[in-house]
Amino acid sequence: MSAMPSPRPVPERDVLLRVVVDGDLELFFEHQADPIACGVAGFESRARDAFFAHWAKVRANPDGLVRAVLAGDELVGNVVSWGPEDERLVGYWIGREHWNRSIATRALAAFLAIETRRPLFAHVARANVASQRVLAKCGFVEQRGEASAEELVYRLDGPHEPARATDALAVGR
């Protein structure tokens, strides 16, 4: 029996960021309700009301930077940063049907061209090897002294990735 072919990477030019609109939230809700994704991410999914209340806060936060991720013209996930100077965090989520196609790596690289504050941190479940790879590919470095039993801490100090055409659709903050 032949092995399943690997999913093909989405070309860099096809991974786009844009501002989040109300109609995106239903899919983001489904993504974070996926028990397999939650298991890998070490994330407890929110019930519908809590999810929409949380995203209302995320989008209203004047210090937050929030982007939807598109692969071509398809909505596939989001990237978010928040928190005070010197403790700023980044997070991202891609729908499981799109995993392992380089989308998160390309989306985070594009996001780092518009989120230029440093340092930038990410907390990652130990089992979440895919996310650790994404962070490493984007220049984040594991902070060995800051790990806990459950998660690793990654930090980015360096300059952002070269600006790409991927934020062309982004407007506003």
State yes or no: residue 68 binds ligand COA (CB under 6 A).
no
Which of these segments, 21-29, 54-62, 81-89, 120-128, binds ligand COA (CB under 6 A)?
Answer: 120-128
Number of residues that bind ligand COA (CB under 6 A): 22
State yes or no: residue 10 binds ligand COA (CB under 6 A).
no
Rg of the chain over Cα atoms, rounded to whole angstroms, equals: 16
Report the alpha-carbon distance of residue 82 to residue 76 in Å, rounded. Answer: 21
Report the alpha-carbon distance of residue 54 to residue 105 in Å, rounded. Answer: 25
DSSP code string of 129-151: HHHHHHHHHTT-EE-GGG--SSE
Total H helices, total E strands in the chain = 5, 7
* Closest C-alpha to 107, from 57, 164, 159, 49: 164
CB of 81 to ligand COA, least distance (A): 12
CB of 68 to ligand COA, least distance (A): 14
Selected from 91, 113, 114, 147, the binder of ligand COA by CB under 6 A is: 91
State yes or no: residue 41 binds ligand COA (CB under 6 A).
yes
* Closest C-alpha to 93, from 136, 147, 130: 130
State yes or no: residue 124 binds ligand COA (CB under 6 A).
yes
Selected from 75, 134, 152, 156, the binder of ligand COA by CB under 6 A is: 134
Binding residues vs ligand COA (CB under 6 A): 37, 40-41, 91-94, 99-105, 122, 124, 128-131, 133-134
